[in-house]
Structure 1
Amino acid sequence: MSLRSKIYGYSSVLFAVLLIAVNLSVYIVFERISISNEIKRVEAEAGSIVTGVRDSAESIPPDDLLRAYAPVEGMLRIVNEDGTSSDPVTTATEPQLNEKLSKLPYKYESQKKSEYTRVGQLEYVWVSVPVIWPDGEVVNVQVTESVADTENGLSVLRTVLVVVTIIALIPAIISSRILANRMTRPIQQMTRTMSDIQSSGQFKRLPLAAQSKDELSTMGQTFNRMMDLLESNFERQERFVSDASHELKTPLTIIESYASLLQRRGKERPEVFDEAVEAILSESIRMRGMTEQLLLLAKQPEQWNIQLEKLDITRLAQESTRAFREAYHREVYCDDPGSIWVISDESKLKQMLFILLDNARKYSEDAIEVRLEAKGQECRICIIDTGIGMREEELTKVFDRFYRVDPARTRSGGASGSGLGLSLAKDIAGAIGARVELKSAEGVGTEASIILPVSVQTTLFS
């Protein structure tokens, strides 16, 4: 059974059960109120009969007295204290019913008593009232009266409630089907979209109502976000495969060429051996770095395990420049403006700083300066070099993957690189809530800045 059929069936049955329960409750309550009112009415009428009978008992013969006060469609009987009874007076229109009424069992009741009883197919109210007779004897005046009118009214009510229940079920069933269709429509759309994705290989989204905020809309939004994530992961995977096959081809070709050269002439010419080993080692190191950067770029920022903590960027910059200076034996100066505190990820911030320092090293010969400043609501780490610089039109392209200032994408003049560093730095900055800016002039140098905005900066620490 489909989900739509289940919703349709369950909701229809539930509505029918509720409707029947409500109508049944209305009928039961109305029936009890009606019977209670009839009993009170007959009791009041019995009280009037008792008063009249007692007042006229001495002047009117008993049989005439009973006939005078007998209720319509009922019976009047006087029961003595010893259990004997006078002949009852019946007033039913049907002779057979009069016979049944007169044969009803009776007994003396010491207290007032009322009952709702059935004789044949008709309902009656029976009331017994003790009375002190003029001669001092205590007797029961027992009144039995038909409540056929009330029963007819209850029968009409039953018919009306049954008809109303049947009529009300029709729109209930129709609305249940509409509800089932409406509730399952997003699921059907999702199923069709998944089938389309499976058959076409394209990532598609569910159309959503702009103003809807129910659970089904939330499910659709979650599905669309999942599609966004899958599409992003797929694009990153495709880009990784394309980049790796494109960029690793050159170092592998160089390694293969020098290995072939070693095989042919390495044993005979030591200078060829040294050149080949150095080139193979250099390309292997470059290929390892490029692979690590490609793998990191292939990950979603959510998978980078960002851990934000309170950092003194002055201390972090000084430690990083000291390590860089010792590793590359380059002059790197870092100023000391005092502690500047921010909230960021230390390892990712260091990685960005090393990427920018490495770029400055590759494209400049002179000393590199690292300048720190806290201005307004922002903190800046500026890496300044006096190298070859860039033209203004190149500044918008340097963050593209594999873009290098050298249009031939060759490694000359010591300015070697894969063209992935600034692209990786930009992704890291987005992940930790920072941004990277570049200022450059050709032949003058470049200034690269890591900017921590207000959203990640702590303006006051105790």
Structure 2
Amino acid sequence: MRLKSKIYLYTSVLFAILLTAVCISVYMLFGRMAIGDETRRIEAEALLIADRVASSASEIAPDDLLRAYVPADGMLRVVRPDGTSLPAVTNGDGDPFITEAYEYREDLNNEHLSGGGHGYIRVSVPVIWSDGEVRSVQISRSIADTEGRLAVLRTVLALVALLAMVPAILASGVLANRIIRPISALTGTMSDIRQSGTFRQIETGQKPGDELAEMERTFNEMIALLETNFERQERFVSDASHELKTPLTIIESYANLLRRRGRERPEVFDEAVDAILSESVRMRELTERLLQSARRPEADTLQLTEADLAKCVRESASVISKAYGRKVEVESAEFVTVTTDEAKVRQLLFILLDNARKYSEEKIEVETLGGKGLPAVIRVKDRGVGIPEAELPKVFDRFYRVDSSRTRQTGGSGLGLSLAKDIADVLNIAIRIDSEVGRGTTVTLTFAPEGIPPRVSEKEAGRYGLLRRSARHDGRLEQRKEEEE
């Protein structure tokens, strides 16, 4: 059975059960109240009649006495202690009560009985008869009128229940449709996604705050995440196939050259080995950065601490200097502290220092300013070839290279500055590049005075898929130094 049919059936049955229970409760309560009122009225009348009968028993013949006080729609009987009675007296309507069984009652008593197809109330009142004997005066009265009103009430309640079921069934259908609508939209959207291969979100028009709106929001977030991950996967495949094609071709060409001429010509051997080693190192760096770029956002978080930028700069510069034998001058105050993720700051510095090393032969200068209430600033300067002014807005694009031939020689992949921009955005750092062709490039990092804003959650901070790799990068640089030596 479909969910819509289940909701429709269950709500209709539940409403029918509740309505029936209410009608039965109303009928029973009203019936009990009506019978109770009738019993009290007959009991009061019986007390009055019994008192008058007992007081007149010595003056009037029993038959005449009872006939004088018999109710219009009932019966009057006097029962002796031995269980016998004087002849019962009725006015015609009470004739069916004469044949009913009776017994002597020593105390005031009332009973709800039935006879002749109708109910009646019998009240027994003990009295002292004229001869001193305690007898029971029993008065029986019909409650047909009350039962008739209860029958009318039963009919009315039954009709009301049947009429009320019509809007209840319609309301169940409306409720089922309202509940099923977002689920149907969800199912339809998933079916469309499966058939078309494209990602879509659902819009059911639910008001925020209920579970259906929460389901819609959760599904749309899941679709957005899947779409982002799918795009990252496609981009990774595209980037990898595009960027790895050239170094693989170079490695294959030099391997063939080695196979043909490597044994006879030592200079060809040396050239081929150097080229293969260089392209292998570049492929490793490129693969690592591709994986960083394609990494799932939720896998990364921020670890905010009070970091000393001056110390970070000095240690990062020392690693680059020792690994590549390059002179890196550091000018900094003794302490420049900010609240940030120190590991990511180191990663950002390694990218900028590595770029400065690749595109300049002279010394690299790093300057650290700020602190004591002023924004912290880090500047990385090189005296390399520089970047044309027209190219500066594009340098943060993925795989963008100012000069493809030059970047092939230096090992550039076009991913470094793109990752640097991603890291800077996560850490709330403003990054600016100033460059002049032939004179060098300066990259300026300006830290926000308040650090990373509270609105950047861990999930948002990880949306660029950045790896925490500072220690691993240090080890890679030391390994490369050993290989080059």
TM-score with structure 2 setting the length: 0.87
Counterpart of 2:236 in structure 1 is 240
Output the amino acid matched with 2:72.
V
- The 1:381–1:233 alpha-carbon spacing in structure 2 relative to 1, beyond 3 Å, is same
How far 1:333 sits from its partner (Å)?
3.1
Output the amino acid matched with 2:6.
K
- Correspondences of 1:265-414 after superposition (within 5 Å): 265-304=261-300, 306-364=302-360, 365-374=362-371, 376=373, 378-406=375-403, 409-411=404-406
Counterpart of 1:425 in structure 2 is 420
The alignment of Structure 1 onto Structure 2 pairs a total of residues equal to 451
- The 1:413–1:81 alpha-carbon spacing in structure 2 relative to 1, beyond 3 Å, is closer
Counterpart of 2:259 in structure 1 is 263
Matched, 1:103 2:99: yes
How far 1:299 sits from its partner (Å)?
1.2
8 Å contact kept, 2:424–2:431: no
How far 1:340 sits from its partner (Å)?
4.4
How far 1:132 sits from its partner (Å)?
1.8
How far 1:350 sits from its partner (Å)?
1.9
8 Å contact kept, 1:301–1:427: no
Distance 2:241 2:123 in 1: 105
Secondary structure, aligned partner of 1:410 = helix
Distance 1:56 1:194 in 2: 95
- The 1:375–1:158 alpha-carbon spacing in structure 2 relative to 1, beyond 3 Å, is farther
How far 1:205 sits from its partner (Å)?
1.1
- Correspondences of 1:137-176 after superposition (within 5 Å): 137-176=133-172
How far 1:330 sits from its partner (Å)?
1.9
Counterpart of 2:470 in structure 1 is none
Counterpart of 2:90 in structure 1 is 90
Secondary structure, aligned partner of 1:26 = helix
Please list the CA deviations of residues 23-59 of structure 1 after superposition, one character each: whole Å capped at 9, or x if unmatched.
Answer: 1111111111111111111111111212222333233
Distance 2:60 2:374 in 1: 115
Matched, 1:66 2:70: no
Unaligned 5+ residue runs, structure 1?
none
Distance 1:413 1:232 in 2: 31
Counterpart of 2:179 in structure 1 is 183
How far 1:352 sits from its partner (Å)?
1.6
Counterpart of 2:115 in structure 1 is 119
- Correspondences of 1:180-219 after superposition (within 5 Å): 180-209=176-205, 211-219=207-215
- The 1:243–1:393 alpha-carbon spacing in structure 2 relative to 1, beyond 3 Å, is same
Please list the CA deviations of residues 306-338 of structure 1 after superposition, one character each: whole Å capped at 9, or x if unmatched.
Answer: 544453333333222221221122222334434
Over aligned residue pairs, what C-alpha RMSD do you find?
2.3
8 Å contact kept, 2:332–2:367: no
- The 1:101–1:216 alpha-carbon spacing in structure 2 relative to 1, beyond 3 Å, is same
8 Å contact kept, 1:131–1:140: yes
Distance 1:147 1:332 in 2: 114
8 Å contact kept, 1:377–1:454: no
Please list the CA deviations of residues 57-98 of structure 1 after superposition, one character each: whole Å capped at 9, or x if unmatched.
Answer: 2332221121121112211111122322100112343xxx61
Distance 1:425 1:202 in 2: 31
8 Å contact kept, 1:433–1:453: no
Distance 1:437 1:119 in 2: 103
Counterpart of 2:41 in structure 1 is 41
Please list the CA deviations of residues 329-375 of structure 1 after superposition, one character each: whole Å capped at 9, or x if unmatched.
Answer: 22223344344444544433322221111112223323221414337
Secondary structure, aligned partner of 1:456 = coil
Counterpart of 1:15 in structure 2 is 15
Output the amino acid matched with 1:435.
I
8 Å contact kept, 1:79–1:141: yes
How far 1:457 sits from its partner (Å)?
7.5
How far 1:258 sits from its partner (Å)?
1.5
Counterpart of 1:52 in structure 2 is 52
8 Å contact kept, 1:389–1:440: no
How far 1:270 sits from its partner (Å)?
1.3
Please list the CA deviations of residues 214-253 of structure 1 after superposition, one character each: whole Å capped at 9, or x if unmatched.
Answer: 1111111111111111111111111111111111111111
Distance 1:318 1:37 in 2: 101
- The 1:411–1:196 alpha-carbon spacing in structure 2 relative to 1, beyond 3 Å, is same
- The 1:32–1:262 alpha-carbon spacing in structure 2 relative to 1, beyond 3 Å, is same
How far 1:297 sits from its partner (Å)?
0.8
Distance 1:338 1:113 in 2: 107
Counterpart of 1:224 in structure 2 is 220
Please list the CA deviations of residues 131-173 of structure 1 after superposition, one character each: whole Å capped at 9, or x if unmatched.
Answer: 1234432111111111111101111111111111110111111
Counterpart of 2:475 in structure 1 is none
Output the amino acid matched with 1:368.
E
Counterpart of 2:474 in structure 1 is none
Distance 1:15 1:180 in 2: 14
- The 1:210–1:161 alpha-carbon spacing in structure 2 relative to 1, beyond 3 Å, is closer
Distance 2:366 2:39 in 1: 107
Secondary structure, aligned partner of 1:104 = coil
Secondary structure, aligned partner of 2:405 = coil
8 Å contact kept, 2:366–2:378: no
Distance 1:389 1:69 in 2: 129
TM-score with structure 1 setting the length: 0.91
Please list the CA deviations of residues 250-280 of structure 1 after superposition, one character each: whole Å capped at 9, or x if unmatched.
Answer: 1111112222222222222211211111111
Distance 1:153 1:455 in 2: 82
Moved more, 192-201 or 333-342: 333-342
Secondary structure, aligned partner of 2:394 = coil
Secondary structure, aligned partner of 1:206 = coil
8 Å contact kept, 2:181–2:204: no
Output the amino acid matched with 2:418.
S
- The 1:25–1:341 alpha-carbon spacing in structure 2 relative to 1, beyond 3 Å, is farther
8 Å contact kept, 1:129–1:141: yes
Secondary structure, aligned partner of 2:291 = helix
Distance 2:372 2:352 in 1: 21
Secondary structure, aligned partner of 2:433 = strand
Output the amino acid matched with 1:277.
V
- The 1:114–1:334 alpha-carbon spacing in structure 2 relative to 1, beyond 3 Å, is farther
